[in-house]
Amino acid sequence: AQRVTQPEKLLSVFKGAPVELKCNYSYSGSPELFWYVQYSRQRLQLLLRHISRESIKGFTADLNKGETSFHLKKPFAQEEDSAMYYCALEAHDYKLSFGAGTTVTVRA
């Protein structure tokens, strides 16, 4: 069975500082990994997926199969980045498993 762990429930950074959200996973197969974001009063939405290798809103995430991690990073946090972030893994049977989420607060 797959499992996604986000060790930080809360993360507070200053505007302009780097931010890194940790995500570790366990899965016996080859995973597809995602980061979802939920801004205040908005729906859960896809931020990025590892296979696209895109940088979205300045965020990047690298899949490290050796460490089974998929950490989300941004070099310079902005106030609009304040949100709830979820790491998710899609197994071969299309089941999407989410971590518990990390609330990010970017302070001015």
**Segment 47 to 76, residues that bind other proteins, using CB under 8 A:** 49
Q: Does 90 bind other proteins (CB under 8 A)?
A: yes
Least separation in angstroms between CB 74 and other proteins? 21
Residues 6+ apart with CB under 8 A from 104: 11, 12, 13, 19, 21, 77, 81, 82, 83, 84, 85
User: Coil, helix or strand for 50?
Assistant: helix
User: Which amino acid appears at position 92 of this protein?
Assistant: H
- Please report whether residue 29 would count as binding other proteins according to CB under 8 A: no
Stretch of residues binding other proteins (CB under 8 A), selected from 13-21, 54-62, 72-80, 88-96: 88-96
